[in-house]
Structure 1
Amino acid sequence: MAYNSSSIHEWLSSRTALGVKLWLLILTSVLVFLLFLLILAFIFHVCFRQRRRNWNRPCYDREAAISTEMEMNIKNGSVDRFSRHGSLNTQRSIVTNWEYSAGQYFPAACKDQWRRNIFALDEIVLATNGFSGENVISIEDFDVDYFGNLVDGSKVIIKIFSANNSLGENEFIREAERIQHVSHKNLIKLLGYCTQGIANNRMFVYKNVDNGNLHQWLHQCPQNHFSPLTWSIRMNIVQGIAKGLAYLHEDVEPQILHGRLRSSCILLDQQWNPKIANFGLVELLPSEYSAGALAGETHESFEIGSTNPFTEQNDVYSFGILLMEIITGRAPANCNQSQPDLIEWVKTMIGSQKAVETVDFKMEEKPSSKQLKRMLLIALRCVDPDILNRPTMGQILLMLQPRDLLLAHGGEIRTGESL
């Protein structure tokens, strides 16, 4: 059946049962429908804005009280002093007698934040069981590390920075997001951060690795047992550390420095794969840190004790110390310890033709003479007093490749070099 314009016009002009022309009824219906859509869009917009405000609003009004008590307990020494390498020795909680449950102190608005990179203070308190001393992993001069459990079951490490940090909130967030965007299999993953609270107690939340750290496996195993860290496992760890540092130095723009590389910063998974922790924190630490706070520690090169800024060569020096520690099983000495300096001890043993005796006695599997000499030579190159003679991490990766060659100064490779 065909319709022409006159028949359509006649149909639209016809009156309905209500006495209203059909075209007018259709037009009114369309306008009402459009008005309904506008109202619906307005309601959606208002709800969305309200939800965003809830995201950015502190999840619980006790935030200031929590921060104040946490800061007072830290300043008053309510946590017993720990070793710098993670051995737990505490009897008190930083925050005492806090009974938390997910239902009581975890508002629904907070739950949306678990999928994002911003954590609320109450989430941190809940994860650490009220900053319990039993959750403390280690205490450094400028931060405290806690073990935590998120409500979704994820295991995390929570780092609380010192209140002496003068970095502004926007700068802190910018640095945190820069670190969070870094992704490498040999770097620990930063899940998010927390800026709530007072006294600049800002926090990082890291993904946990469940097999302890390298320092524990090197120095806290029973003396009368062989170490599970065989030579091949140790070399795999060295390779992973070098890859992670090379990525930070050469593949990230702008580059990220570590500044605090040591065996306690190397976390291990169940397959002994290393994950570097605490990278990129130099910019987040108080200014006195780079001005000489590390002058008495042998993990960092001597240039740090002056007014010189951190450079990638400082990380290379720390890598050389770490490589010696992995080979020998001896912890680096600091100014408060009586044992010989690790670098001088290694040089003395090599000079006395006793390089083979530098190998950790707890290793059942011993390296070949060529393997040992190559690793010791790389370590000595890294701690060269002349900063210009130290190789880059990219060059170190090439040196670590298994080959029947030894390395000479200047980054070139030649045969016949002897220790």
Structure 2
Amino acid sequence: MVKARSSDRTSASGMALGVAGLAALLLATAFAGVTADTNSDDVTALNAFYTTLNSPSQLTDWVPQNGDPCGQSWLGVTCSGSRVITIKISGMGLEGTLGYNLNLLTELSELDASNNNLGGSDIPYNLPPNLERLNLEKNNFTGTLPYSISHMPTLKYLNLGHNQLSDIDVMFNQLTNLTTLDFSYNLFSGTLPESFSSLSSLSTLHLQNNQFTGTIDLLTDLPLTDLNVANNQFSGPIPDKLKSISNLQTSGNSFSNSPAPAATPPSDNPPLRPSPSRTPSHSNNNNRPSRGSNTNNGGKSSKVGGAAVAGIVISLVVVGALVTFFLMKRKSVRSQHGDDPEKNEHLSPLTPRRIKQLKASRAVSLSPAGKELKKNASMNLKPPSKIELHKSFDENDPTNKPVTKKVNLSSIRATAYKVADLQIATESFSADNLVGEGSFGRVYRAQLSDQKVLAVKKINFSALPDHPSDFFVELVGKIAKLSHPNLSELDGYCSEHGQCLLAYEFYRKGSLHDLLHLSDGHSKLLSWNSRVKIALGSARALEYLHETCSPSIILKNFKSSNILLDDELNPHISDCGFADLIPNQEVQESDANSGYKAPEVTMTGQYSQKSDVYSFGVVMLELLTGRKAFDSSQPRSQQSLVLWASPQLHDIDSLDQMVDPALEGVYPAKSLSRFADAIALCVQPEPEFRPPMSEVVQSLVLLVQRSCMGLSSERNSCRFDESGDSR
């Protein structure tokens, strides 16, 4: 700020300086207006949140990159200083999922995203850690509650009602400030968690319309004033203390001392009561013969009554036969289409995950008409198998119509490079700049004129069908939409003169495979904590591809050579989006004898999210043992890493012998054991027994939290430094 000079200056000079001062003030004010007022972590989290919500137009002022939520007053966002403290976006018709890094919002006290269409997958584990109010009511979340809720002691209000959640993986011991808990209208089953008894401040608990079983005795000592457990499968007596609650609803259970159900109101046509006469009669009492009636009339009445009864019986038999015939015919027709009603769960609502399973099974057993429809459906060069997984074959579904997907390169947020520039940067793609070769082409180091270093992938389209340029346009459009800190970041592309090139950020540490398996001693750079860090980051990337992207992306070729490491040993998964567009057989052949293939892939050639989970388990084994996934130089019984290691994962003595010698015995025994437990689940031979990636992430997060517990009293202090060691 310019100050006025002393009074001995001339008035003209004073006036000139005053004008200059005013101009400087205005300039400073204008500069402040364009300078971001928001904490950079909060901006990053909200950018990602906006992207995973599919960039909805109703969130005015929100942007997918940079921006200033506090300075620009983004809709629904409230700030205190430079920090975001509340997000209220209820009832806005939003779709997609919650962001994958909301844990960066460390000052957020309230998140209200209720009454939208979010979900279709688990609630992410990385919620804002210091929330006081979390409301996700009336959305489409499925699966398991994230364990991270267990470590949110500031939480006072938690409403997850009206979703399709089915499992509670939360310990409530630390949630002593929670006053309101709503789990109503979900798919929870089993007995109430024992840790419910620790909710010492809980006044409102809504559990209605679930499938909880057992008793409610553990709620006895809670300070409840509003309890609704209606329409579950609770049993046993209602504790006397709970009966005194002012607002108590318990109907629809099997409590032994619950109030009798209310009497059914009389209908307009009440059922006929049996006649007090010893002779059963289905006729009205007015038709009964009087004492003065002669025997002839009585006999006639009896015959008429008998004929009526016989007619009714015959009618019932005929109707029953017709009903049985139609039901059997309907069952026969349904069984031909793979839809046996006796195998359906009529009483259980269908979750999105179950719907997806039914659609997939339905696509496998298509009728001839369905096969013709599959033949006509088109998504450019995507294989029909992908359409089967993500298309409904309901004849009323408008998505059944043939679709031709076109991507405009001008709409892609990535740099369009010239072939000449990339040729100069790679010295005409010389062998000296070759840094790798994979299933989809060779990768070259490129140094641009501005000294920027890139990794340029030269796509090999020799094995692909016609129109490779169209294929490449779709590929670039898909990859450019991916955004996660543990994915290899697309910098640009080139589509000129028949060349199809992708430019990525260059990661100087190379691949995890090279760091682990090249005999130059580099594996000693990987401490135990850095290995856990790599596993966790890679798991988060797979979780994003499987459970955040819509439609989900199956990687198919997850392996250590596709995990690139930056200077801080953060993992970045490469080749994302490639395998999803290339037929299964192509990937299968290119991956022969690699050791990463799940057993079902070997047998059927079909990949799934669970086959990715298996491959991830193999990479974890590489991190633990330092061995290759398949090593022909080993004795025959040890060539396959999974077959050799799996029987030893639960034997602590054998486990110690398996650990990579490069670690020189420096690792926590409990951390090693939990790491091995996660591996054992991932490499299960049966895909249905492997966990989803969100559960794998939660187990690794828990492993890190327990390893770091007690290292510092500071909140959020458990992190990794550049060497990968916890601090």
Q: Please report the TM-score for the alignment, with normalisation by the length of structure 1.
A: 0.63
Q: How does 1:77-88 map to 2 (within 5 A)?
A: none
Q: How does 1:15-54 map to 2 (within 5 A)?
A: none
CA distance in 2, matches of 1:252, 1:219: 32
Q: How far apart are residue 230 of structure 1 and its match?
A: 0.6
Task: Read off the aligned partner of 2:642 and give its amino acid letter.
Answer: I
CA distance in 2, matches of 1:284, 1:161: 13
Q: How far apart are residue 261 of structure 1 and its match?
A: 1.3
1:250 paired with 2:547, answer: yes
Aligned to 2:475: 175
CA distance in 2, matches of 1:350, 1:315: 20
1:165 paired with 2:464, answer: yes
Q: How far apart are residue 312 of structure 1 and its match?
A: 1.3
CA distance in 1, matches of 2:414, 2:483: 17
CA distance in 1, matches of 2:680, 2:510: 28
Distance 1:347 1:405, change over 3 A: farther
In the TM superposition, what whole-angstrom CA distance separates every residue of 1:68-122 from its partner, at most 9, and x where no partner exists? xxxxxxxxxxxxxxxxxxxxxxxxxxxxxxxxxxxxxxxxxxxxxxx95322322
Distance 1:142 1:311, change over 3 A: same
Distance 1:286 1:383, change over 3 A: same
Unaligned runs of 5+ in 1: 1-114, 407-419
1:343 paired with 2:642, answer: yes
State which structure, 1 or 2, has the greater radius of gyration over its C-alpha atoms.
2
Aligned to 2:681: 381
Task: Read off the aligned partner of 1:357 and give its amino acid letter.
Answer: Q
Aligned to 1:153: 451
Distance 1:355 1:405, change over 3 A: farther
Aligned to 1:278: 575
RMSD: 2.9
Q: How far apart are residue 334 of structure 1 and its match?
A: 5.5
- Which secondary structure state, in structure 1, belongs to the residue aligned with residue 496 of structure 2? coil
Task: Read off the aligned partner of 2:422 and give its amino acid letter.
Answer: I
Which deviates the most, 171-180 or 377-386?
A: 171-180
1:356 paired with 2:675, answer: no
Aligned to 1:184: 484
* Poorly superposed stretches of 4+, deviation over 6 Å: none
- Which secondary structure state, in structure 2, belongs to the residue aligned with residue 275 of structure 1? strand
CA distance in 1, matches of 2:634, 2:439: 18
More strand by share: 2
| Percent identity between the two aligned chains | 29
Distance 1:184 1:291, change over 3 A: closer
CA distance in 1, matches of 2:466, 2:571: 30
1:263 paired with 2:560, answer: yes
CA distance in 1, matches of 2:685, 2:581: 28
Contact residue 231 and residue 365 of structure 1 kept, 8 A: no
Distance 1:117 1:304, change over 3 A: farther
Which deviates the most, 188-197 or 268-277?
A: 188-197
Task: Read off the aligned partner of 2:563 and give its amino acid letter.
Answer: I
More helix by share: 1
Task: Read off the aligned partner of 1:146 and give its amino acid letter.
Answer: Y
Aligned to 1:330: 627
Q: How far apart are residue 222 of structure 1 and its match?
A: 3.7
In the TM superposition, what whole-angstrom CA distance separates every residue of 1:127-150 from its partner, at most 9, and x where no partner exists? 211010001112234411111112
- Which secondary structure state, in structure 1, belongs to the residue aligned with residue 465 of structure 2? coil
In the TM superposition, what whole-angstrom CA distance separates every residue of 1:221-279 from its partner, at most 9, and x where no partner exists? 545x8712111111111111111111111111122222211112111111111111111
- Which secondary structure state, in structure 1, belongs to the residue aligned with residue 662 of structure 2? coil
CA distance in 1, matches of 2:631, 2:525: 27
Q: How does 1:70-81 map to 2 (within 5 A)?
A: none
Aligned to 2:595: 298
1:289 to 586, 596, 606: 586
Aligned pairs, how many? 291
Distance 1:340 1:164, change over 3 A: closer
Compare relative contact order (CA 8 Å, sep 6+) and give the higher one, 1 or 2: 1
Q: How far apart are residue 155 of structure 1 and its match?
A: 0.8
Task: Read off the aligned partner of 2:567 and give its amino acid letter.
Answer: Q
Distance 1:284 1:202, change over 3 A: farther
Contact residue 516 and residue 523 of structure 2 kept, 8 A: no
Which deviates the most, 316-325 or 137-146?
A: 137-146
In the TM superposition, what whole-angstrom CA distance separates every residue of 1:365-407 from its partner, at most 9, and x where no partner exists? 622332112111211211111011111110101111235999x
Unaligned runs of 5+ in 2: 1-412, 707-727
Distance 1:283 1:290, change over 3 A: same
Aligned to 1:402: 702
Aligned to 2:494: 194
CA distance in 2, matches of 1:182, 1:351: 37
Aligned to 1:213: 511
Task: Read off the aligned partner of 1:276 and give its amino acid letter.
Answer: I
Task: Read off the aligned partner of 1:149 and give its amino acid letter.
Answer: Q
- Which secondary structure state, in structure 2, belongs to the residue aligned with residue 333 of structure 1? coil
